[in-house]
Amino acid sequence: MIEKAESIPAEVAERRLGTSDRMDYMDRALLLARLALVHSSPNPAVGAVIVKDDVIVGEGYTQPPGSAHAEIVALQQAGERARGATMYVTLEPCCHHGRTPPCTRAIIDAGISEVHISIIDPNLRVCGRGKAELEAAGIKTFVGDHEEQAQELNEAYIKYTYTGLPFVIGKFAMSLDGKIATKTGESRWISGEQSRRYVHTLRSQIDAIMVGVDTVIRDDPQLTARAGLAGGRVEKQPLRVIVDSKGRTPPTAKVFQVPGKTLVAVTKEADPERVRALTEVGAEVVELPAKGGMVDLEELLKLLGQRQIVSMMVEGGAAVFGSLFEERLVDKVLVFVAPIVIGGHGAKNPVEGKGVEKLSQATGITRVKTKMVGSDVLISGYIAR
C-alpha cells in the first residue's frame, strides 16, 4: 500500500487524499512517481491518481519489483469509489502477466470510466496494447498529458528498454575556470553542501556509480548514498563500479568497508595477486577486453545492462570521462559550477582523453537547463545524437 503521509515529502504531502479543490492531477501523479525512484528499478517509476467528483479517492506509486504497481495501489485505496472515476497515470498500464497480474484487467474490473496517460510504455509487451485493451472495454483514454516530464522521469527506463544499456549520467563539479582540483590535487569540496545533498539524493535513485581507479586511490570515496544527505530515503545502495585495468584498487579502500556491492572491471593486464586480494575483501572482479589501454567501456556497459543496471552515474575521473565522451557513451551531463577560480597550470580538468581538433567535432549538449543549487550553478543537458 501507499506509504503513510508522514513519509511523503512535503511537496507531495501538501495535496493529501480527499482534497476537493481543483488541481493538476497528472502533476500529482508525477510527484508520486518520483517517490518510486528509490526502489522501482528495473521497473519504471509510475504514479497514479484516481479522481471522482473532483476529489482524490485513491493514489499510489510503484512498489519494489514483484510488488504492486501504482495503479493497483491506487485502486486498493479507492475501493468501490473507483467505479465511474477517472484515473491519471504517468505510464501506460501494463496488459501482460509478469511478476504481477496485468493492471489493465484490474482497471476494467474496478469500473474506471476514463484514463489519462502521460506516455505509452516502450516495452513491446505493452506499447499501445494496454491503451487498446482499455478502449476495447469502453474506457475513454487520453495520451500526452505532461508527456515531457513523464519521459524525463523515466528516461533511464526508456533507453534501457530500447537498447539494453544503462542510461549514463556524467556528473562533476568544477570551478568557474573549469578545474576539478588544485595543482596539489585538493578537490574537497569544490561544490557546496546543498550540491552534495543533491548528489546523494541522485545516488539513492540510481542503480550504479562508476569511477576510475585513480579517483579511488586519490580520494578514497565511499560512493554511497547517505540518508542524512539524501533526505532520509535510501532504500538501497547503488552498485559501485571501478574501472581498473591493472587491478590497482587498494584492498583497504573505503568502498569495501561500507554497505553495498562493488564491481572492479579489469583487463588481462591485472596482476592475479591483486585480483585475489580484491576478491578477498568482497569485490567482484570481472575481466573485460581492453581498448585504448583501458577497460573497454562499451563492453562494460553491456555487462551492466545484462545485470539489469538501468541507470548509472559516472563521477570521475578525467580519463574515464574522456573515453566515455569520445565513444559517445554518455547520455546526460550534470555539471556543478562553483563560484571560485582555482587557476594553475597543474590544476586538473574534468575531461581528458584525446580531445578534438576542431570545434565542429566537439560533443554537443542539447536541452540545456540551469538552476541554482545553493551558491552553485547546476548545468544539465543531453548529449546531441
Residue ranges in the chain assigned as alpha helix (H): 10-13, 25-35, 70-78, 103-110, 129-136, 147-153, 155-163, 193-203, 213-219, 272-280, 297-306, 318-326
Q: Alpha-carbon distance 337 to 175, whole Å?
A: 6
Q: Give, for 366, the enclosing helix (H) or strand (E).
A: strand 365-373
> Exposed (0-12), middle (13-18) or buried (19+): which is 297, by Cβ within 10 Å?
buried
Q: Alpha-carbon distance 314 to 265, whole Å?
A: 14
Report CA-CA distances (Å) from 36 to 43, 187, 241: 10, 33, 23
Q: Alpha-carbon distance 335 to 54, whole Å?
A: 42
The alpha carbon of residue 349 and the mean position of all alpha carbons in its chain are separated, in whole angstroms, by 25
Q: Which of the residues 59, 71, 92, 133 is marked catalytic?
A: 71
The alpha carbon of residue 183 and the mean position of all alpha carbons in its chain are separated, in whole angstroms, by 33
Q: Are strands 290-291 and 294-295 parallel, antiparallel or unpaired?
A: antiparallel
Annotation marks residue 114 as catalytic: no
Please list the active-site residues.
Answer: 71
